[in-house]
Amino acid sequence: MMRTAAITFALLAGLLSLSLAQSRPADVPRQIYGKVQVIDGTTIDFKDRGQIVRLAGYEAPRLEQTAVSEGIEWPAGQVAKAWMILRTLERDVNCAPVARDANKNLIAHCFVGETNLAATAIAEGIGYAFNYKDEPQVPAYFDIERKARGLGYGVWSSKDLLPPWLYVSARDKKTPEQAPDTFDPGLPLPPPVTPDIPASSAESQGG
């Protein structure tokens, strides 16, 4: 099975190289290489180069998303981030950018050694094959996803876990009355606001 996966990824790397050779915007570098800081399950930061890179054709659960598999709750978004950290920690990451997104961050195919990060994450059920509108398409990833889905790996083991693009859409459509439900309990609460009382008033109240 591992040999088959290696062959699949080797063929995929060849297809990606071919697509990269076709077109690249002038403001997109041919390659970016080095150590990275992981931002979330899909995004890495080449701090010494000041470049933020998002993996092409791939999406992972948002950091706050949780999943339930066979009655066991687990932090799907944090797992995706941790997976990316373990794959890149103290390793050089080699990215081949293909475009920039709406935020002007690079979109790229990224590798550690011969490991395609997006393809491997999809194969292990860490995240999803997904192409945003007006961004480079990576149809080969959907074949990999179908196998992970059939085996019930990772995100596919949780029936109620929304893919991140649907989760974000549902979250953004909530009315203001529902806004408190979106508050992250992990964030520190702001200090209570107390009205300023003039010193003379305070003294009179105390007396």
Helix intervals (H) in the chain: 2-22, 76-88, 117-123, 140-151, 164-172, 199-206
pLDDT of residue 58: 97
The CATH number given to 2-160 is 2.40.50.90
Tokens of 107: 């979109």
Q: Are 104 and 193 in contact (CB under 8 A)?
A: no
Q: Are 130 and 163 in contact (CB under 8 A)?
A: yes
Segment-wise mean pLDDT, segments of 10 residues, the chain, 207 residues: 46 49 75 97 95 97 97 98 98 96 95 98 98 90 96 96 94 62 38 42 46
Q: Are 95 and 108 in contact (CB under 8 A)?
A: yes
